[in-house]
Amino acid sequence: MNQASQNFGDKFEKLCQWAVQCEWDDIPDVVKQRALMLLCDDISAMLAGSVEPEVRKLRETVLSRSTSGDAVIFAKGLPTTDRISAAAVNALAGNWCELDGGFRRAVCHAGICTLPALLSEGQARSLTFAQLLRCVVLSYEIITRIAMAFKFDTMKVHSHAMWSSMGSAASVVLARNGTVNELVGAVTAAATTTPIGPRRHLMEGVLVRNCWASTGAVHGFFSADWSTSGIMGSSTSIPAVFMEILEAKMETEALISQIGNEWSLNASYHKIYACCQHGHSSIEAVLEMLDLADDFPLTHEIAAIDVYTFPLALSLNNVKPPTTLGAKFSLPHMVAAALIYKTGGPRAFYQDTLSDPTVAKLREKVNLMPFDKSLTPPNDRPSKIVIKTYDGKIFEQECLSSQGGPDRPFSQDVVLNKINDLSAIDLPGLVHLAASFDMSQANRVGWKEIIKLIQEKPIHS
C-alpha cells in the first residue's frame, strides 16, 4: 500500500467515525432545515420525472413483477414495491428533468446520489423523521467530501456515475445504524462498482445517462449487504478507482477539514432552470439582457451570439441535440431557447423545441469561448453573452455566478413555488412540509407518517 492510499484510508475512517458518532442534536438547526428543503425539492424533481414516457414505462415494468411493497415510488398514487426497485425508479425519475439540487464546491449532485436509497430504506425500517434527516445530512457530508478529495484535469466520467454507488451505500448503512467498520467497508466496496458513464453522453443526448444514479442506488444496497456479511473494500479501493484509474489528483484533507464546523449542505444549491447547472449563468445573463434592453433585436436580425464561459460549460457544445436530454446539456440550445421562450424552465426543453426552426437557426449562431477573467469561487462558473446584429449593434450581459447557490441563494418563496408547481397535483402536502415543519416534532413523527401527510392537502392551507 502506498503512502497516499494509506493517508486517504486513515482520513476516510475518521470521516466515517465522525458520521457514526454524530447525533441529531449535534447538527445545527440551519443544516436540518437545509436537509428538509433538499428532501422536498428532490422529491418534487422525482415527481416531475415520473410523468416522462420512458420513466412511466419502466415503472409499469417494475410494478408488474413486484412481490412486496415496503417502499413507495414517488409518482401519482405513490405505488409501492420492494425498496431496491423503488430506489432505482426514484433515482431515474429524480434526475430526468435536471431539476434536482446540486453541490457548489464540487461537481456532485449529492441529493440524487444518496436520497433514493435512503428514502426507501428509511421507510422499510420505519425510521423517525429525525433519524431520516440525520442520515440525509451525514450521507450528504460523506459523499461531498469524497468528491472534494479528487480533482480532475478533464472529467471523462459523469458525476452521477462516479458518486452514486458510494453515496447510496453510505446512506443505507447509516439508516441501518451500522458500525464504523460496516460504513467504511460498504463505501469502499461501492467505489469498485462505479459505472464508467461517459460524460460525453450528456451532450450526445444518450438516455442511459439518466440511469447512472439508479445503478448507484442498487449498488449501494448490495454494498451495504456485502459489508454486513464481511465482504468489504479496503483503504486502497477509493484511491485505486479515482486516482489510479480515472487519473484524478487526490487532496485527502478535504475528507476531514473543518468537519462538524463546516457542513456541505450549506454549500448546496437549488435549480429552477431545467438543464445542466453549468449553463445557468448563461441563461440568467440572457434573461437579464431581455429585461434590460429596450431595443432588443428581432431573431432574424441576430448575426452572432458569443458566449464566454468556463471550461466545463465549453464542453456543452452540441448545436444539434438529438433528444431532450441532449438539449439540457447543449449550451447553444439553452441560450437559443431562452431567447425564444424567455425562460430556462421546462418549456425551453420540451420535445418540440428540438425541431423549432427559429431555435435551430439561433443554435447555429452560438460561439463558445473561454471566459476572459480569473475563475475564482464563487465566481468560477460565469458567463458573458455578447449578441451582435447584422447592422452592427452589440448587446452584452454578464453573470459571474448564477442564482441558487450559497453566494446568491434563492428566496425560500422561489424554492417553495418550484416545489408546489411540481408536486401540487400528486403530493399537495409536500410544499407545506417544506415550509412549515416543526423540527421539534421530528423525533415524534415517523417517515412513513410523513409520506402519508404529503399526500393530503392541509386543511388550513
Domain locations in the chain as residue ranges: 3-269, 277-399
Mean pLDDT of 346-370: 95
* Cβ-based neighbours of 110, under 8 Å, separated by 6 or more: 102, 103, 139, 140, 143, 144, 147, 163, 167, 264, 268
The C-alpha cell 451570439 sits at 305
Q: What is the DSSP string of 26-95?
A: GS-HHHHHHHHHHHHHHHHHHHHHHTSHHHHHHHHHHHHT----SEE-SSTT--EE-HHHHHHHHHHHHH
* Cβ-based neighbours of 211, under 8 Å, separated by 6 or more: 92
Are the C-beta atoms of 26 and 137 separated by less than 8 Å?
no
Question: 265 to each of 108, 127, 167, how far by Cα in Å?
Answer: 12, 21, 14
Q: What is the pLDDT of residue 439?
A: 97
Helix axes 180-191, 212-228, angle to 10 degrees: 140
Q: Which amino acid is at 68?
A: S
Backbone region of residue 177 per phi and psi (left: phi > 0; alpha: psi in -120 to 50; beta: other values): left
* Cβ-based neighbours of 345, under 8 Å, separated by 6 or more: 272, 273, 274
| Portion of the chain with pLDDT greater than 70, in percent | 99
The 10s digit of each residue's pLDDT in 371-381 is 988 889 999 99
Query: What's the whole-model pTM score?
Result: 0.94
Three-state DSSP at 231 gives: coil
Mean pLDDT of 451-456: 94
- Average pLDDT of the chain is 95
Question: Cell numbers of 90, please?
Answer: 426514484
Residue 461 has pLDDT above 80, yes or no: no
Instruction: Supply the DSSP symbol for 208.
Output: G
The 10s digit of each residue's pLDDT in 164-222 is 999 999 999 999 999 999 999 999 999 999 999 999 998 899 999 999 999 999 999 99
State which CATH number among 3.30.1330.120, 3.40.50.720, 3.30.9.40, 3.40.640.10 fits the domain covering 277-399.
3.30.1330.120
Mean pLDDT of 77-89: 96
HSE-up (13 A, CA, CB side) for residue 381: 24
Q: What is the pLDDT of residue 458?
A: 77
What homologous superfamily is domain 3-269 in, according to CATH? 2-methylcitrate dehydratase PrpD (1.10.4100.10)
Q: What is the pLDDT of residue 1?
A: 55
The 10s digit of each residue's pLDDT in 277-301 is 999 999 999 999 999 988 899 999 9
Residue 117 has pLDDT above 90, yes or no: yes
Q: What is the pLDDT of residue 294?
A: 84
